[in-house]
Amino acid sequence: MAASPAEHPNVLQSSFSQIDADTDANIPGWRRYVHLYTPLAAGVLVSLYDAQSAAPSYDFDNSGNRMILLVISAAIPTYLISSVVYPIHRPEPTPGQSVRFTRKNTIYRVGVLATYGRLYGTRFNILFFLADVALSFGADHLVGERPAGAEQRPSEFLVALLWVLGSQIVSLVIPYNTPVIGFVIGAIDRTLWRTAYVALMDDVIGVLTRPHVDTFWGKATLILVQTFTMVSIVYLVVARRKRMHEERIKAQVAKEPEPSSQVQA
């Protein structure tokens, strides 16, 4: 006589898990990730809205503030538009789906690390970049990376931020008596800052791709993260335009001939 499902709860649970996984897989990607796409698109559109950045007398500071206010006012509409197509009853993620974005593929981590220095306009240095990638994997053991399938922390960024704070305190306590100590402390501090940046990207992507829209705080967190994403895009675009504008001004000044000095009698 065949055993009933009640006698084997694990079998019954596995069946429901398979149904949930199949249901989530059948949801189109544009619906699952709509809360990720819409703030990115909104941030880019707002950045392209101001087309006067080529003017020599362009006020970048006022432009950035104006666009950021526009983004903040568009936060709620962006959330509402996304909520129209986002699946309401989405299954809980499997252990494999709960893995952080930069841990799903090494290329993702390398790509995120490559954007860190570029955000501030620093030039790419292959040797420093390779060192950052290698130290990033070492920082996993230092910070305490949790393996796939284990219960994940609510926020990896906050954990990494505590390590950054600890590094700052240590750098104040330990004097830089020798170049070796200064180099080691500087390398650790540099690695922890990049670890915090990668963790921030993981947290942001995690909230936007797996939002908890069934609770009030989950919705509030989603709106805040979407707003943060849009404001960040606008800030980075305006900062990039400002740097390019300053470089053009410097190039024009360098090309101008110096006035010839006249000898007065």
Q: Do residue 118 and residue 129 come from a single domain?
A: yes
Residue 265 lies in a domain: no
Q: Do residue 119 and residue 177 come from a single domain?
A: yes
Which tokens go with 51? Answer: 């087309």
Most confident of 46-55, 125-134, 229-238: 125-134
Residue 74 lies in a domain: yes
Helix count and strand count (H, E) for the chain:
11, 0
Q: What percent of the chain has pLDDT over 70?
A: 80
Q: How many domains does the chain have?
A: 2
Q: Do residue 114 and residue 79 come from a single domain?
A: no
| Whole-number average pLDDT of the chain | 79
Mean pLDDT value across residues 204-221: 92
Of 159, 185, 209, the domain-final residue:
209
Q: Do residue 202 and residue 98 come from a single domain?
A: yes
265: confidence class by pLDDT, cuts 50, 70, 90: very low
Residue 237 lies in a domain: yes
Residue 16 lies in a domain: no
Q: Do residue 145 and residue 233 come from a single domain?
A: no
- What is the tens place of the pLDDT at every residue in 76-116? 899 999 999 998 778 888 777 788 899 889 999 999 999 99
Q: Do residue 44 and residue 100 come from a single domain?
A: no
Instruction: Give the integer Cα–Cα distance in Å for 72 and 83.
Output: 18
Tokens 């540099």 map to which residue? Answer: 190
Residue 148 lies in a domain: yes
Q: What percent of the chain has pLDDT over 90?
A: 32
CA 24 to chain centroid: 25
pLDDT at residue 158 greater than cutoff 70:
yes
Q: What DSSP state is assigned to residue 214?
A: T
Q: Do residue 134 and residue 183 come from a single domain?
A: yes
CA 261 to chain centroid: 54
Q: Residue 50 CB: number of other CB atoms within 10 A?
A: 18
46: confidence class by pLDDT, cuts 50, 70, 90: confident
Q: What DSSP state is assigned to residue 145?
A: P
Contacts of 209 (CB under 8 A, 6+ apart): 32, 33, 35, 36, 101
Cα separations in angstroms, 6 against 11, 13, 16, 20: 9, 10, 13, 19
Residue 236 lies in a domain: yes
Residue 8 lies in a domain: no
Q: Do residue 154 and residue 223 come from a single domain?
A: no
Cα separations in angstroms, 211 against 33, 124, 155, 170, 219: 10, 34, 13, 36, 7
Instruction: Give the integer Cα–Cα distance in Å for 162 and 249.
Output: 41
Q: Do residue 177 and residue 217 come from a single domain?
A: no
Q: Do residue 231 and residue 155 come from a single domain?
A: no
Q: Do residue 97 and residue 165 come from a single domain?
A: yes
φ, ψ for residue 123 (rounded to 5)? -80, 150
Residue 3 lies in a domain: no
Residue type, 221: T
Which tokens go with 231? Answer: 């404001």
pLDDT at residue 16 greater than cutoff 90:
no
Q: Do residue 105 and residue 142 come from a single domain?
A: yes
Instruction: Give the integer Cα–Cα distance in Å for 176 and 183.
Output: 9
Residue type, 181: I
194: confidence class by pLDDT, cuts 50, 70, 90: very high
pLDDT at residue 243 greater than cutoff 50:
yes
Domain of 143 in residue numbering reads as: 93-209
Of 193 and 3, the structure prediction assigns the larger pLDDT to 193
User: What pLDDT score was predicted for residue 50?
Assistant: 61
61: confidence class by pLDDT, cuts 50, 70, 90: low
10: confidence class by pLDDT, cuts 50, 70, 90: very low
Cα separations in angstroms, 219 against 63, 194, 212, 232: 30, 28, 7, 20
